[in-house]
Structure 1
Amino acid sequence: MTNGIKGLLKFIIIMSLIMGGLTVILIVLQNVRQKNNQKIDINADTMNLIQLEKPHEGDPIAIVDTTLGEFRFVLYPQYSPNAVKNFTELAESGYYDNTYVFNSESGAYSAAGCPQKNGEMPEGYDKSRELTERELHQDLWPFKGAVMSLNTTVDRSVWEWITGGGTYFNGSRFALINTVEFTDEMKNEMLQDSVSHKLAEAFIELGGIPNFSQQMTVIGQTYEGIEVIEKLSQLETQENGIYKIPKDDIMINSITISKYTDDNN
């Protein structure tokens, strides 16, 4: 065997070892990334879709008065205690009075609760209110009528940047979920691929945004005034590069925290 052939074989063996090592590394990173992206473990057997239930006597609620009418949603402090506490304290302080609906996304959802119409936080805002660690739960989903705290930032180490992990935070602004269009193809895919057949059926029946699942903290579910949620998501807008800002000033006039009773709801 000539030296040239020996050298070529040696090169092939070295490259094979390098490629094999890279393949192992990529497989490990992919598995870690998939685990990080999953965020929480979902157990279909123990899942309880509480958003499908009527509020119970004494449950905390938010009564939201807007330019386009009033809607009410039940709060879930038992599942999202920190985000609900942040929202409740801000509401009770009057923070949300005369704040803006600053995004209206093509019938799918709207975003509200910002002091400025462009959706940006004003100079000198309380940063602690925008750093509530995200809370996810297998019982809470972005069904139509869900109220979700918008993510504000993510804290990641170098390793987490590589693997897709990190700690996410949400703040004072919130999303009001209407729905995307559910085509027959989409419905079939959901029924076939969803971790829970009951969950897929709930999305198909109620509407919502499945792609938002386990991405943001759900703080409540609208039980009255769903037509207002629909209107807020369908406003005439102009884009600023980040948000689709309503052309007219659409305001959150006030938010009142109360308790649910059968007598006044």
Structure 2
Amino acid sequence: MHKKLCLLPALALALLCACGKSETKTPPTRTEVVSGERQFTAPADGDTIAVFDTSLGEVRAVLYPDAAPMAVYNFVGLARSGYYDGTTIWRSEYGFAVQGGDATGTGTGGSTIWSNNPYPLEANVDLKHYAGALCAAFAAGGDLTGGNSQFYFVTALPDSVNGDMQADLTANGYSDGQVAAYAAAGGLPYLDNTDTVFGQVYQGMDVVDAMACVDTVKDDDGTDTYRPTDEAAITINSVTITTYSSADTAADNGLDAVG
């Protein structure tokens, strides 16, 4: 069993203090991460994917039902029911995450396909909170015993996991590949055993980064939640569940499909 990160109070503090504090929100330059880690491997034909049609553009993420079955099953069921259609991104923190999936638009609500009963944490040793990770979230101020309809995309900056943090990860049992992936992509490793990763963006990360750069206002309730202003509201028009096709991807890129 992977060692829990009760660790890193210094790492967690450093990352938390960096979240959402930049006055100049410049979309980061992200280079391709060359890694054997699952989240940086191209989806295979037939893999389940989610297509987010948003007011800022399209985001595509591959889902991992084998690693986080309840999180994926709940998300897929809600998406197919139209639950996410017309909802908003209610939280936007530069260098941290953007969060949605609450039909109330407040961050305090949510639902599940199990009569609104929560499902348990599904932390998986092979899935990490790298930039671009799609993760299950809890309602703000709610019961932390399980997840609901809310989700977030990690928007950590590429240089967010520095050398000292990498050394801490190694000391806490992370593989060389995982440490290297965090170093290259950035991420939020202190959440690895706290929240469930159930997918990864493979197309449209620039759209996710744009979500993290909109104008926000800070909640005055001690939660340090940054919400898009009314003028910068981000709408999720729909979430479509389908299967990945390399032929479709090649066509989208103006390439000839191979095979």
Q: Which amino acid aligns with 2:199?
A: G
In the alignment, what sits opposite 1:7? none
In the alignment, what sits opposite 1:264? 248
The secondary structure found in structure 2 opposite 1:201 is helix
In the alignment, what sits opposite 1:138? 125
In proportion to residue count, which structure has more strand?
1
Counterpart selection for 1:186 from 165, 175, 185: 165
User: Cα–Cα, structure 1 residues 191 and 35, in superposed 2: closer, same or farther, change >3 Å?
Assistant: closer
In the alignment, what sits opposite 1:60? 48
Counterpart selection for 2:180 from 183, 194, 201: 201
Structure 2: gaps of 5 or more residues = 8-35, 250-259
In the alignment, what sits opposite 1:6? none
Identity %: 31
- The answer (yes or no) to whether the contact 2:5–2:193 under 8 Å persists in 1 is no
- The answer (yes or no) to whether the contact 1:194–1:200 under 8 Å persists in 2 is no
- The answer (yes or no) to whether the contact 1:86–1:129 under 8 Å persists in 2 is no
- The answer (yes or no) to whether the contact 1:64–1:72 under 8 Å persists in 2 is yes
**How far apart, CA to CA, are the structure 1 residues paired with 2:175 and 2:112?**
41
**How far apart, CA to CA, are the structure 1 residues paired with 2:112 and 2:184?**
40
**How far apart, CA to CA, are the structure 1 residues paired with 2:191 and 2:98?**
13
**How far apart, CA to CA, are the structure 1 residues paired with 2:151 and 2:112?**
16
* 2:57 paired with 1:69: yes
- The answer (yes or no) to whether the contact 2:63–2:199 under 8 Å persists in 1 is yes
How far has the Cα of 1:233 moved from its partner?
1.9
Counterpart selection for 1:214 from 193, 198, 204: 193
In the alignment, what sits opposite 2:23? none
**How far apart, CA to CA, are the structure 2 residues paired with 1:85 and 1:173?**
13
How far has the Cα of 1:224 moved from its partner?
0.4
Q: Which has the larger radius of gyration?
A: 1
Taking structure 1 as the reference length, the TM-score comes to 0.71
Alignment of 1:60-99 (within 5 A): 60-99=48-87
In the alignment, what sits opposite 2:234? 250
User: Cα–Cα, structure 1 residues 138 and 190, in superposed 2: closer, same or farther, change >3 Å?
Assistant: closer
How far has the Cα of 1:192 moved from its partner?
5.6
| More off after superposition, 93-102 vs 104-113 | 104-113
Q: Which amino acid aligns with 1:245?
A: R
In proportion to residue count, which structure has more helix?
1
**How far apart, CA to CA, are the structure 2 residues paired with 1:137 and 1:191?**
17
How far has the Cα of 1:149 moved from its partner?
0.5
The secondary structure found in structure 1 opposite 2:127 is coil
**How far apart, CA to CA, are the structure 2 residues paired with 1:190 and 1:36?**
9
- The answer (yes or no) to whether the contact 2:74–2:113 under 8 Å persists in 1 is no
**How far apart, CA to CA, are the structure 2 residues paired with 1:35 and 1:73?**
26
Structure 1: gaps of 5 or more residues = 1-33, 39-47, 156-167
How far has the Cα of 1:116 moved from its partner?
2.7
